[in-house]
Structure 1
Amino acid sequence: MEPVYRSLEIIAHSLVRAQGLKLTFSGVENIPKTGGVVLAVNHTSYVDFLPAALGVYRAGRRTRYMIKSEVMDIAIMRFLVNHTKTVPVDRSKGGEAYQQAVERLREGLVVAVYPESTISRSFELKEFKTGAARMAKESGAPIVPSIVWGAHRQWTKTEAGTRNIGRSKLPVSVRYGPPISVAPDADPDETTVRLRTAMTELLHQVQDEYGDHPAGEFWVPARLGGSAPTPEAAAVIEDEEAARKAEARAARHPDDHTGHEAGR
């Protein structure tokens, strides 16, 4: 029953009702009813995890996210992580998080991964890390590609946008694609290309069906006439941001030279 997770589900549904979000789900039938599943989610918002998980809930499953271990410094978050089988990712011990995620998959759970690793400022798909492919290969679980569109209108990583997490009544669309099977001898790079291709197709389908994308709006991709940066311009901004973070991290932890195994 997992009472803590059940309490979170009640809170999540109450939050959606309070915000008046107009959630639309499609392809829920593509989520396997049983067994481990790697749920690959595009990343455009600080809150896109919620719609993706609510769609999985409709399939009768529960989602376990991989999240930054920094949240473990907060008592209530530490309690929630420990009681919901969430996978905290410690940058200095990325291999441990990766193996924990694989074990969750072998236990038959749905583990959500952001293949892009960080939020896309262009709202297009960035280059993917191979973590999802490697987890699927090692655990034998399929990958379910999924797209959330509209959550970035609530809260995203851009100076032009503002937080709109009150009663916004915004439309948010979620679509799940057919599962991608990963053979034990599959090449993770090739699988990652397959996954990104599938998610690109899903993204364009969802955008075409979403409704108006007003010209010049901060949340609309440049490809659709919006003022969001192009993928190339976004990459420059993100590289500069990553460099600043790396410098700050190095200043705090001068002896830390490890990488992020789970998403690599």
Structure 2
Amino acid sequence: MSAYPHDRFYRWVIRAFKALFRVLGLRLEVRGSSSIPSDGPAVLACNHLSYLDFTFVGLAGSRRRRLIRFMAKTSVFDHRVAGPLMRAMGHIPVDRASGAAAYRKAARALADGQLVGVFPEATISRSFTLKSFKLGAATLAVREQVPLIPVVLWAPQRTFTVDKHYSVRRGKAIVIAVGEPIIARADDDPVKIDAELRRRMDDLLVEAWRTYPDQPRDDADRWWVPAVAGGSAPTLEVAAELERAANERRLRKAS
């Protein structure tokens, strides 16, 4: 039996989100999707800006008729609604206290010729710039000897992100940019591959800012533009403090 018996359901979910994007009037621009292989394994590493990032990266995969098995934190799988859906689509739960089981599942997916999606920042960036990376994506690519493909999203934070920022205003532009694959040798250092991944993703992100067609409506609407690009989003340092405070509130609520 296939390890992914519910791919028809996964494709239905993709169609449903495409319909939702049309209802929201999103102007989706996918750049460089030909860098995603039409068959065979690869790791896709993407920045993290919103709760909908899975769907936008999945859209790029669908341009190549590929499904992506995303690695996501276990709390998503524990949710009574999202959990069964994530499992049905073959996504991979990640327990941050013990990542070995997630690594084995991701490696099996790659051995099966699947695409595995990873968010190296692990959590959403409140600064909308790149946070520090976990080594998982680079390690998978080096150890399993598969291409590592940088992917950058720009402006999904304008739809639904942290700190109660969400909007159903129609007509937003969303950029999904796929870069050239990094081909690592078996003896490459994952740390060096990770640094190359970050460099390429940073270049893609800056290019996405520079070529993005929309502008803030007014000063109050500059919240989604990074401070380094002249916006009012928090700096990396302030964003880190906001994330720590949010984590502390979450822990207090759970205790």
Residue 138 (structure 1) shift: 1.7
Residues 213, 226 of structure 1: 8 Å contact kept: no
Matched residue type, 2:177: R
Q: 3-state SS of the aligned residue for 1:85?
A: coil
Task: Could you list the structure 1 runs, at least 4 aligned residues long, displaced by more than 6 angstroms after superposition.
Answer: none
Residues 20, 168 of structure 1: 8 Å contact kept: yes
Q: Percent identity at matched positions?
A: 38
Q: Does 1:19 align with 2:21?
A: no
| Alignment partner, residue 64 of structure 2 | 59
Residues 173, 214 of structure 2: 8 Å contact kept: no
Residue 81 (structure 1) shift: 2.9
Kindly report which structure 2 residues correspond to 1:81-230, keeping only aligned pairs within 5 A, or say none: 81-158=86-163, 162-164=165-167, 166=168, 168-214=170-216, 216=219, 217-230=222-235
Give the distance between the partners of 1:99 and 1:193, measured in 2 at CA: 23
Give the distance between the partners of 1:74 and 1:118, measured in 2 at CA: 17
Instruction: Identify which of 242, 245, 251 aligns with 1:240.
Output: 245
Residues 213, 224 of structure 1: 8 Å contact kept: no
Give the distance between the partners of 1:183 and 1:19, measured in 2 at CA: 43
Matched residue type, 1:163: Y
User: 1:58–1:221: structure 2 CA closer, same or farther, 3 Å change rule?
Assistant: same
Residue 141 (structure 1) shift: 1.1
Residues 28, 174 of structure 2: 8 Å contact kept: yes
Give the distance between the partners of 2:187 and 2:12, measured in 1 at CA: 40
Give the distance between the partners of 1:15 and 1:109, measured in 2 at CA: 26
Give the distance between the partners of 2:80 and 2:247, measured in 1 at CA: 28
Q: Does 1:31 align with 2:36?
A: yes
Q: 3-state SS of the aligned residue for 1:145?
A: strand
Residue 168 (structure 1) shift: 2.1
Cα RMSD over matched residues? 2.0
Is 210-219 or 113-122 further displaced after alignment?
A: 210-219
- The runs of 5 or more residues in structure 1 that have no matched partner are 253-264
User: 1:234–1:71: structure 2 CA closer, same or farther, 3 Å change rule?
Assistant: closer
TM-score by length of 2: 0.89
Deviation string 1:196-244 (CA, Å, 9 cap, x unpaired) is 0000000011111102443741101111211101112212222333455
- The runs of 5 or more residues in structure 2 that have no matched partner are 1-5
Matched residue type, 1:198: R
Matched residue type, 2:157: H
Matched residue type, 1:5: Y
